[in-house]
């Protein structure tokens, strides 16, 4: 089996200091967590930024500052074009796609978050995909249900996405597909041959989804974007979450990919 690529998503849109005092929200906190997670075994970082009030934003200036501070950290950098960073336009959500990053997230359909819409219209998806192609950023296709895989295959056929595709199965967001072993298998069986995939197990699906992905030859994402509590009494830190993935992988006999190995596995 291929080595395991671990992605850390340290910030996301949901975490606040109230929800978890260990949240990584400021640029300095994010940089510090990325370094620790890299040392613990993460090869990819999925980045979000916050504004001066620590609210989610897609602001290019903030991404630029963060990427500059991460310049000397040898880790694959992936920026988020998600729907919760403010205005819902190609220009706003894609404003960071000319910066020095290796990958960007791309949702290929719409779904619900607990209190908002994950709104990705056909034109918006194409617009963001085109910018990624033009800037040589590999999309990580964020799929919240099966239809988004079908749409990604269609977008590849009409030239907006270039294979091999890389998917992240976002499992167990309230309002989207439930994180169960059976659902994950069905998703994985639906992606085109030659694709790579990872899984985000949101909330209490985390350990089951991670373990499934390790056993099935997929890759994993963890971090405070996906889970706030380590167990029912303990706040998670990004580093603790990465270390837990490394431990599970070790017990299951799966080796961890270095950053260079991850670049090859993900065809970067």
- Under the rule (CB under 5 A), what is the footprint of Mg ion? 80, 82
Rounded to whole angstroms, the Cα distance separating 176 from 45 reads 24
Smallest distance from the beta carbon of 178 to Mg ion, in angstroms? 19
Smallest distance from the beta carbon of 253 to Mg ion, in angstroms? 30
Q: Dig out the tokens for 171 from the structure.
A: 């499992």
Name the closest residue to Mg ion (Cβ).
80
Give whichever of 227 and 254 is closer to Mg ion, judged by the CB atom: 227
Q: Which of 189, 156, 170, 174 is nearest to 80 (CA)?
A: 170
- Residue spans of alpha helices (H) in 45-192: 60-69, 90-93, 122-134, 146-157, 181-189
If you search the block for the tokens 């963001």, which residue do you land on?
128
Give whichever of 46 and 243 is closer to Mg ion, judged by the CB atom: 46
Rounded to whole angstroms, the Cα distance separating 219 from 56 reads 26
Rounded to whole angstroms, the Cα distance separating 215 from 4 reads 10
Give whichever of 181 and 228 is closer to Mg ion, judged by the CB atom: 228
Give whichever of 14 and 191 is closer to Mg ion, judged by the CB atom: 14
Rounded to whole angstroms, the Cα distance separating 20 from 41 reads 23
Q: Dig out the tokens for 66 from the structure.
A: 């963060």
Give whichever of 80 and 238 is closer to Mg ion, judged by the CB atom: 80
Give whichever of 38 and 46 is closer to Mg ion, judged by the CB atom: 46
Q: Dig out the tokens for 89 from the structure.
A: 């336009």
Smallest distance from the beta carbon of 48 to Mg ion, in angstroms? 6
Check: CB of residue 143 under 8 Å from CB of residue 117: no
Given CA atoms 218, 227, 207, 258 in this order, what sign does their dihedral have?
Answer: positive
Rounded to whole angstroms, the Cα distance separating 110 from 252 reads 35
- String of DSSP letters for 169-194: EEE--TTS----HHHHHHHHHTSPTT
Smallest distance from the beta carbon of 258 to Mg ion, in angstroms? 24
Give whichever of 49 and 184 is closer to Mg ion, judged by the CB atom: 49
Smallest distance from the beta carbon of 47 to Mg ion, in angstroms? 9
Smallest distance from the beta carbon of 9 to Mg ion, in angstroms? 6
Smallest distance from the beta carbon of 15 to Mg ion, in angstroms? 11
């Amino acid at each position: 089996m291929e080595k395991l690529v671990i992605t850390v998503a340290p910030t996301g849109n949901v975490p606040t200091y109230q929800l978890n005092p260990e949240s990584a929200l400021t640029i300095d906190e994010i940089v510090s967590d990325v370094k620790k997670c890299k040392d613990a075994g993460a090869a990819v970082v999925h980045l979000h930024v916050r504004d001066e009030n620590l609210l989610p934003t897609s602001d290019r200036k903030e991404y630029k500052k963060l990427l500059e501070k991460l310049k000397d950290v040898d880790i694959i950098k992936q920026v988020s074009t998600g729907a919760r960073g403010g205005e819902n336009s190609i220009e706003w959500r894609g404003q960071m796609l000319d910066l020095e990053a290796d990958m960007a997230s791309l949702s290929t359909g719409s779904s619900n978050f607990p209190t908002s819409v994950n709104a990705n219209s056909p034109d918006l998806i194409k617009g963001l995909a085109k910018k990624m192609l033009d800037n040589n950023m590999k999309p990580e296709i964020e799929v919240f249900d099966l239809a988004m895989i079908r749409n990604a295959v269609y977008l590849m056929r009409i030239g907006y996405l270039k294979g091999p595709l890389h998917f992240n199965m976002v499992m167990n967001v309230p309002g989207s597909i439930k994180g169960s072993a059976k659902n994950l298998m069905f998703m994985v069986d639906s992606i085109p041959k030659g694709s790579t995939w990872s899984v985000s197990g949101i909330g209490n699906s985390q350990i089951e989804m991670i373990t499934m992905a390790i056993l099935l030859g997929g890759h994993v994402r963890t971090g405070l974007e996906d889970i706030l509590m380590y167990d029912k009494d303990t706040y998670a830190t990004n580093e603790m979450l990465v270390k837990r993935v490394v431990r599970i992988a070790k017990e299951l006999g799966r080796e961890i990919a270095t950053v260079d190995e991850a670049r090859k596995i993900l065809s970067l």
